[in-house]
DNA sequence: AATACGGGGTC
DNA sequence: GACCCAGTATT
């Protein structure tokens, strides 16, 4: 069994040469680190980068986000998913702005809304050099293989053990770099399906590899069956002066998801609508709901309850559901081939 | 402990 | 088309 000191050295030396140049690695500003970590929750680096740049450009400080209308922040988050992250981040920004300074300890950071174990450890270690190991999906996979953990990694007891292992390996001198190195290893070499063991700094010390079982680990419990659904969206347009408007509906604050987001009307909600052209269909999944969505143009003599006419050129500034974004793209393809 | 929550990249 | 991603909050 390799000594933690030696494992650390191998990992850190590898990271120095393999480290990707990412926007949030060019700063120690805790606000920027926090923003990146929240956006990266269950979201890949390549997807986050453009959102991170736009969001930071608009809200360079907690105070800037705290002062913004929620709908504006959601509009900038629109398409990234898990919108509770944006709401919670704004609440966190409000607390930080009121406090005057960014909290510096793990406990204070962890008390912010939307900040759990992972994010608190990441911010505390990367921005403030606190010795807290992170345990994200990457680290779980790396350590499950490194230690040949064959139990279900979803189980609480196993997560606790892996967290202890991460903490044991953590480089106390450079915890932020160590955490990022672990995640980098998981994201670039210790891949779920096709681990690149020959390039791994731990190739000679990985227990799963020694057993030839690196492809099988980590073991994860089954997920629930997705629910298949079919809906029809309607694009109802109206011209007034030089402006074009489209009929839309805003989701209420009490809904379980996409609160406050604008969507296109469903056909079943507009019994008086008359179908026009079929624009096409697409698939869209929201957590475990797999939608097949068919899109038609339509005409309407009277607007249905709860629907509103939205100017086409103002859609960019609204929190727009991705279903609406995709459906409107079908329409635009038709008019500008 | 199980579940909801988005969306898309990737094999 | 399944898996899974720099997770968190709620039940």
> Distance (Å, rounded) from C-alpha A303 to C-alpha A249?
11
pLDDT at residue A332 in the model: 87
Nucleotide nearest residue A136, measured CA to C1': C6
pLDDT at residue A336 in the model: 65
Could you tell me which residues come within 8 angstroms of residue A323 by beta carbon, excluding any fewer than 6 positions away? A233, A263, A264, A284, A291, A293
Whether CB of A26 is under 7 Å from strand C: the answer is no
Examine residue A35 and state whether it is found in any structural domain, yes or no. Answer: yes
pLDDT at residue A262 in the model: 98
Examine residue A221 and state whether it is found in any structural domain, yes or no. Answer: no
Examine residue A16 and state whether it is found in any structural domain, yes or no. Answer: yes
Each of the 337 residues of chain A gets a pLDDT tens digit; together they read 899 999 999 999 999 999 999 999 999 999 999 999 999 999 999 999 999 999 999 999 999 999 999 999 999 999 999 999 999 999 999 999 999 999 999 999 999 999 999 999 999 999 999 999 999 999 999 999 999 999 999 999 999 999 999 999 999 999 999 999 999 999 999 999 999 999 999 999 999 999 999 999 999 987 788 999 999 999 999 999 999 999 999 999 999 999 999 999 999 999 999 999 999 999 999 999 999 999 999 999 777 778 999 999 999 999 999 999 999 999 988 776 5
Range of the domain at A24: 4-210
Q: At A91, give phi and psi (nearest 5°).
A: -65, -40
Name the nearest CA neighbour of A69 among A94, A52, A45, A48. Answer: A94
User: Are A185 and A325 contained in the same domain?
Assistant: no
Name the nearest CA neighbour of A30 among A107, A96, A117, A113. Answer: A96
Whether CB of A321 is under 7 Å from strand C: the answer is no
Considering its fold, how many domains does chain A have in total? 2
Examine residue A132 and state whether it is found in any structural domain, yes or no. Answer: yes
Model confidence, pTM: 0.96
pLDDT at residue A334 in the model: 77
Is residue A37 among the annotated active site residues? yes
pLDDT at residue A252 in the model: 94
**Residue A218: cis peptide before it, omega within 30 degrees of 0:** yes
3-class SS of residue A75: helix
Cβ contact A142:A186 at 8 Å: yes
Cβ contact A249:A265 at 8 Å: yes
* Residues of A 132-191 whose CB lies less than 7 Å from any atom of strand B: 154-157, 191
> Distance (Å, rounded) from C-alpha A133 to C-alpha A122?
8
* CA max distance for chain A: 76
User: Are A81 and A179 contained in the same domain?
Assistant: yes
Six-digit token pair at A208?
Answer: 């799963």
Distance from residue A224's CA to nucleotide B3's C1', rounded to whole Å: 10
Query: A76-94 in b/e burial notation, b at 16+ Cβ within 10 A?
Result: bbbebbbbebbbbbbbbbb
User: Are A20 and A155 contained in the same domain?
Assistant: yes
């Amino acid at each position: 069994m390799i000594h933690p000191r030696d494992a650390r050295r191998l990992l850190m030396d590898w990271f120095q040469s393999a480290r990707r140049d990412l926007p949030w690695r060019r700063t120690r500003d805790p606000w920027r680190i926090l923003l990146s970590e929240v956006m990266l929750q269950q979201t890949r680096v390549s997807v986050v980068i453009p959102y991170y740049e736009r969001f930071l450009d608009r809200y360079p400080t907690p105070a800037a986000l705290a002062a913004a209308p929620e709908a504006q922040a959601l509009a900038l988050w629109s398409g990234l998913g898990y919108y509770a992250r944006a709401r919670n981040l704004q609440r966190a920004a409000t607390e930080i702005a009121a406090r005057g300074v960014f909290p510096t300890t793990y406990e204070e950071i962890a008390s912010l809304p939307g900040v759990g174990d992972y994010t608190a450890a990441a911010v505390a270690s990367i921005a403030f050099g606190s010795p807290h190991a992170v345990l994200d999906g990457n680290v779980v996979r790396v350590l499950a293989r490194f230690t040949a953990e064959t139990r279900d990694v979803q189980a609480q007891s196993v997560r606790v053990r892996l967290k202890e292992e991460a903490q044991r390996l953590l480089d106390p001198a450079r915890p932020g770099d160590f955490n990022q190195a672990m995640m980098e290893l998981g994201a670039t070499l210790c891949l779920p399906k096709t681990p690149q063991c020959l390039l791994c700094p731990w190739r000679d010390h990985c227990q799963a590899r020694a057993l030839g079982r690196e492809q099988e680990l980590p073991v994860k419990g089954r997920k629930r069956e997705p629910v298949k659904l079919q809906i029809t969206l309607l694009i109802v347009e109206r011209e007034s002066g030089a402006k074009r408007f489209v009929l839309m509906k805003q989701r209420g604050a009490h809904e379980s998801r996409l609160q406050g987001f604008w969507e296109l009307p469903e056909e079943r909600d507009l019994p008086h609508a008359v179908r026009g052209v079929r624009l096409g269909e697409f698939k869209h999944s929201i957590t475990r709901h797999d939608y097949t969505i068919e899109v038609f143009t339509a005409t309407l003599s009277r607007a249905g309850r709860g629907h509103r006419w939205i100017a086409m050129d103002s859609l960019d500034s609204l929190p727009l559901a991705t279903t609406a974004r995709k459906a409107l793209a079908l329409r635009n393809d038709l008019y500008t081939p």
